[in-house]
Amino acid sequence: MKIGILGTGMVGNAIGTKLVQMGHQVTMGSRTAGSDAGKEWQKSTGGKGQIGTFADAAGFGEIIFDCTNGANSITALRQAGAANLRGRILIQVSNPLDFSKGMPPSLTVCNTDSLGEQIQREFPDTRVVKALNTMNCRVMVEPSLVPGDHQVIMCGNDAAAKAEVTKHLGAWFGWKPGNVIDLGDITGCRGMEMLLPLWMRLYGMYGDPTFNFQVVRGG
């Protein structure tokens, strides 16, 4: 498959590398074509990965990952271009973390709105599916790093898009369908993003990001 990855940070790297290893065609996008981070990733894939601008990556992908800095995701997606995002599934991984006042970060948006909703409103013709944002990127692409059953949470307005993402999460990364929790429409992003302060606190406590949330039901 042709996959566009917006973002050259550790998340874009983890997802891009895994997909290239699986034989997919991946273009990783940056603010500028040929960024140092992009070139480094391309080199790490032995030249198999392709790099370009956010617009190049979005235009390339049959499916697109948003792995951009959350405080700047809307800007990055505008640079990717509404026309390139139209009709596409956007797996929206970024979190609205605000590090401007140091640690711990706060959220740029919360309670009655979320980054996922802001993006869906700004790009109404894009099939936004929020997923994978509640865990470290190594766990995203290799859930077996955490023993036992634990979950990937998703939400979005488009049921067919969510079904397709569920299929890909299984085929690409090994997420069992039974461990995918669909929270419903895009407003589910509020809770998914507001988990981040808890995630950050747990990370500080454990000193290692290799953990995940497990929902255990009694009824």
Ligand X SMILES: NC(=O)c1ccc[n+]([C@@H]2O[C@H](COP(=O)([O-])OP(=O)(O)OC[C@H]3O[C@@H](n4cnc5c(N)ncnc54)[C@H](OP(=O)(O)O)[C@@H]3O)[C@@H](O)[C@H]2O)c1
Could you tell me which stretch among 69-77, 80-88, 149-157, 179-187 binds ligand X (CB under 6 A)?
A: 69-77
Q: Which among 8, 17, 151, 131 has a CA at the least distance from the CA of 67?
A: 8
30 touches ligand X by CB under 6 A: yes
Contact 84, 111 (CB under 8 A): no
Contact 93, 133 (CB under 8 A): yes
Binder of ligand X out of 1, 25, 31, 113 (CB under 6 A): 31
68 touches ligand X by CB under 6 A: yes
- Binding to ligand X, residues 90-119 (CB under 6 A): 93-95, 97
Query: Helix (H, G, I), strand (E, B), or coil: what is residue 20?
Result: helix
161 touches ligand X by CB under 6 A: no
Binder of ligand X out of 3, 11, 26, 63 (CB under 6 A): 11
As measured in angstroms, the least distance from the Cβ of 219 to ligand X is 30
Q: Which among 152, 170, 168, 172 has a CA at the least distance from the CA of 160?
A: 168
35 touches ligand X by CB under 6 A: yes
As measured in angstroms, the least distance from the Cβ of 69 to ligand X is 3
The DSSP secondary-structure symbol of 188 reads: G
Residue ranges of alpha helices (H) inside 127-211 are 137-141, 159-168, 189-194, 196-206
Where does this chain bind ligand X (CB under 6 A)?
7-12, 30-31, 35, 37, 67-70, 72, 75-76, 93-95, 97, 133, 136-137
